[in-house]
Structure 1
């Protein structure tokens, strides 16, 4: 009888072995990045005319800022509405160098128009290009470290932190507009002609600037991706999801958030320094509350929980603004606001979240269908359960 039961019960399937990510999964990310990098560095300069290539370089500068916002907001939960301040610091640092270089030892043109008779002491160090580039990154980082040390130690977060950064952007604009002889006032700094001895108006120079911007974006993306995957990145996500719990475990969330905020500020400053020679202007209108909000909207549309989504959102929103504003100059802002509301309400994870959800749904259906087919094949192979001859004997 025991032999009969043993032969009637089909053998249990072997337990699946515990395996790590497959080779295909490990190569998927680098393969996609390589494809996009080749497309940006090789195909775009060959296929796009100089004007369109210059616009793409402008969008990539915004994408660098968006990458920092995705790191601070998406991974760390810090809604920064004042990234334009750091973007402006980097932009003005590079603009000051370019103006002094074009002046050739004389006063910049806007100072002459404003009645300034002697070069301000604040401007003198920016005659050195190395100092200007270093300050474009170090200045925003130091300001973010100071602000973070003051704010995060007081456990200011959420909407309060967002309002504080927004107020900082508004105050910076007022300060820049009021210093006509020092900053160019409302007009800002413009009319740049040379960069390191190269004519900025030449197509070859603009093509080279595009390649530099694209390469910088690629390197920063890889560094940010590595940071997110490190232990520091996991701790940052844990602080986003439960700051009090992380504090109870013995970590100091203020330090982690301050460092992340400083890194995002440095990215914004570097983007501003690249933006000035690409576009040819830096003014208070480019670093106020509205531009900062537009960058946050772009990150939300692309997907704030994904670094690639933040970059994609900045490029798409920049292209959309250029395209739609040509036909709907007054209606673009309303369209942008409506798009932000729809994304936050219906797709909080943005476009990349929708793509991930669709991919998971397709994978689940494929796996379910595969299991059904395997079950049918197993049932057909087993056939009817028949007692073994030795059992009957």
Structure 2
């Protein structure tokens, strides 16, 4: 029963030519304006480390890109899958602490414990810390740990058909529990202070201007790769099924698909992107602590995605960069007013720009004809003969009459 539906979903829409080009056409939108935008953004990204101050502005912009990595995962889960994830701080923390543990052990040296453990009276390295002396284990932990947690959570929750606000509250509760656990284990996690004082990142000196530029290129490259991969996911058959589940989960279930598996995979992908973003935040900011993973930062990430456009991966990137840039500059002049401005911004976007910044052009394009129609204004239309080929004569040689073109004799076609 599901095979004809899949074939129909993959067939081109009526009246639209089928597109070709393979994976390249899926990664980069084939329309020329978007290709131009993509090239311009790429060029600006290459120039940014040579224009921005490497001591302050460049690390800030690199941090915004880390948030953008988290944002594209939220856009996949929320915008394309309908799963409002208000607890991405859990997965940011899994990736951040996995990378932070390796960096602390690398700086401590063989046989030594990190400095905060010495201050807390811990003289022997805990067993669960020992594997993170190996950088390969740390990278695997950044990828595997969020997949395991998200898969287990997804299978337990989505199988019970928990969705909407209930799922959002559940993710919030898990994030709060994770933060409480980190704070309570002072000797093993650094407690409220977290893990700090990182001097290098895989051979990159974080105190040098050239090191900050290298870290920027690493972060921008990871963001570009993740963005292109998620575009492939969205344009694939899996992406179309995810959209169908968002718009009508019960109908997809009746057609023979299992929404639990599809939603769990999408949720796991979103968790991995958040974990990778958290792992890169550690060397960029130089710290990872429970305050960065709490409920409020997680909600702020969702607000940024909503402002940029949750239905668009590019909109999520734009929202993460713009909102965090606005917070930095607005807080410099009005430190106590940013929270109110952020709330008003979120309400304004939900009320007047439901598609976010990325949806301004389509919203204006669709709304202007409706507005003109309500005002009684009729736009002039192009007149003239139809551009299609003339009608073919029916079998038997019967004449075909074309109205308005000469005499009846001239209207006959052989």
Name the TM-score, length of structure 2 as normaliser: 0.83
Match of 2:104 among 62, 82, 99: 99
- Structure 2 Cα separation of the partners of residues 375 and 161 of structure 1: 56
Structure scoring higher RCO (CA < 8 A, sep ≥ 6) equals 1
Q: Distance in 1 between matches of 2:137 and 2:20?
A: 47
* Candidates 47, 54, 60, aligned match of 2:51: 47
> Following TM superposition, by how much is the alpha carbon of 1:370 offset from its aligned partner in structure 2, in angstroms?
9.4
| Partner of residue 73, structure 1 | 78
* Contact kept in structure 2, 1:84 and 1:292, CA below 8 Å: yes
In structure 2, runs of 5+ residues without a counterpart are 1-14, 372-376, 388-403
Residue 261 in 1 paired to residue 267 in 2? yes
CA separation of 1:361 and 1:107: change in aligned 2, threshold 3 A: same
Aligned to 1:381: none
In structure 1, the partner of 2:68 is 63
Alpha-carbon separation, structure 1, partners of 2:384 and 2:247: 41
Name the residue aligned to 1:186. Answer: 192
CA distance in 2, matches of 1:227, 1:363: 33
* Count of matched residue pairs: 367
Q: 2:381 corresponds to which residue?
A: 372
Residues 358/117 of structure 1: CA separation in 2 closer, same or farther (3 Å cut) = same
Question: Partners in 2 of 1:388 and 1:128 — Cα distance?
Answer: 90
Report the Cα offset of residue 360 of structure 1: 4.9
2:9 maps to none
How does 1:295-334 map onto structure 2 within 5 Å? 295-334=301-340
Aligned partner of 1:177 among 161, 173, 183? 183
Say which is worse superposed, 89-98 or 193-202, in terms of deviation.
193-202
Q: Which runs of 5+ in 1 are unaligned?
A: 1-16, 379-384
Secondary structure, in 3 states, of the residue corresponding to 2:193? Answer: coil
Which residue does the alignment assign to 1:8?
none
TM-score, length-scaled by structure 1: 0.87
Could you say which residue in structure 2 is the equivalent of 1:144?
150
More helix as a share of residues: 1
Asked if the contact 1:81/1:162 (under 8 Å) is kept, the reply is yes
Select 2:298's aligned residue among 274, 283, 292: 292
Q: Does 1:161 align with 2:170?
A: no
Q: CA RMSD in A?
A: 2.7
Q: Cα deviations across residues 20-74 of structure 1 (Å, max 9, x unaligned)?
A: 569997243444323322221x211222121211111100000000000000000
Are 1:36 and 2:36 an aligned pair? no
Q: Which runs of 4+ in 1 moved over 3 A?
A: 17-25, 359-365, 368-371, 373-378, 385-391
1:258-297 deviation digits (Å, cap 9, x = unpaired): 0000000000101111110111000000011001000000
Deviations 1:228-259 (A, max 9, x none): 11110000000000000000001000000000
